[in-house]
Amino acid sequence: MYVRRLIFVVSCLLFLWGHPLLAQEKAYPKNGEGIELFLKRFGRVGYSYQKEFIRLNKSKLGRNNMLINGVQYTLPPLHDEEEVQTTSRRRTQTEKAGKRKGYEPLFGKQYAAYETISSELKGATFYLVSGHGGPDPGAIGKMGNHRLCEDEYAYDIILRVARNLMMRGAKVHIIIQDAKDGIRDGMYLNNSKRETCMGSTIPLNQVKRLKQRCDKINSLMKQDPSAYKRALFIHVDSRSRNKQMDVFFYHAGSRAGKKLANTVRDTFKRKYAHHQPGRGFKGTVSQRNLYVLRNAQPVSLFIEIGNIQNKYDLQRIVLSNNRQALANWICEGFIQDYKNSK
């Protein structure tokens, strides 16, 4: 009788240990991944997986359910055998894609090395421009004793967007460059005047400065054989201190430009609805007669991140997790626009 009971208990333990629904799989996120992309890498696609993941890992997530590098997260169990097979195929594809390694010094020592995690943007070319730079810091906000300069935060976000795009197989030209300041995870980014336009000194005169970057984009565009070419300009707005702003999107008026702006805006809208339900998203899309939108030849998108004078908007800017979230969502919008263009 004792032996029979022992065999029964051992059998139950072996069943529970080996059962795919009860054996919890754990994994670390890669740099730049949000919950959606992290789960997709392991075959967990859809809102139900995201909801279950947040429930399982609530105490380990950052602000607005951001993933934290170096933290191990529990993956929600797969729903059925078919999904187990799908996961196996996706992980194999990801591992193959991950063997293609890249290195971009402009991202800084911590982020210079990256892996191509997918080929979603293979064949696409991007021209990324952060606002101001060099002798012009742009708008200046203040938090405590710290002066926050627009060009530094716009540059940090542009680098994060660039890295995300490159990890998905895109060709990326970073037009405004700082040889020292890579992606920075600090809250207070020190200002410098080192930025160049791909090695050329940035003029102080506004028209000359804008012309320089448009000329560089247009020159590079002639050399790029890609059918899909997009330019992105990122700025931080400056309004009265009591004016809190969502992210705003501007285009030059072309059909493709308007479509791109709406696609990225809709991505932000979905993300806000998921991460901050009930808050709403008031960012708008509009046509603007801006110099860079008129003179840059690729289909272009101009984004205003928020109001650098407003203390609530500043929280979205100074926290590196929020800057990464903005970059993730912009990247996802571009991926969708690229798919729509085919």
In the prediction, which pLDDT does 238 show? 84
**Which of 98, 118, 146 is where one domain is finished?**
98
Q: Please tell me the distance from the alpha carbon of residue 249 to that of residue 290, in angstroms, as a whole number.
A: 12
Q: For each successive 10 residues of the chain (342 residues), what is the average pLDDT?
A: 45 36 70 85 83 90 86 83 48 55 94 94 98 96 93 97 97 97 95 96 97 98 96 89 82 98 96 82 94 98 91 85 93 97 91
Q: How far apart are CA 303 and CA 290, in angstroms?
A: 12
Do residues 81 and 156 both lie within one domain? no
19/38 same-domain check: yes
Is residue 214 within 8 Å of residue 292, measured between CB atoms? yes
Point out the domain boundary residue: 98, 132, 160.
Answer: 98
- pLDDT at position 99: 53
140 close to 147: Cβ distance less than 8 angstroms: yes
Q: Are residues 180 and 284 in the same domain?
A: yes
pLDDT, residue 80, reads 54
The total number of structural domains in the chain stands at 2
Q: Compute the distance between CA of residue 316 and CA of residue 141 in angstroms, rounded to an integer.
A: 13
- The pLDDT assigned to 265 comes to 96
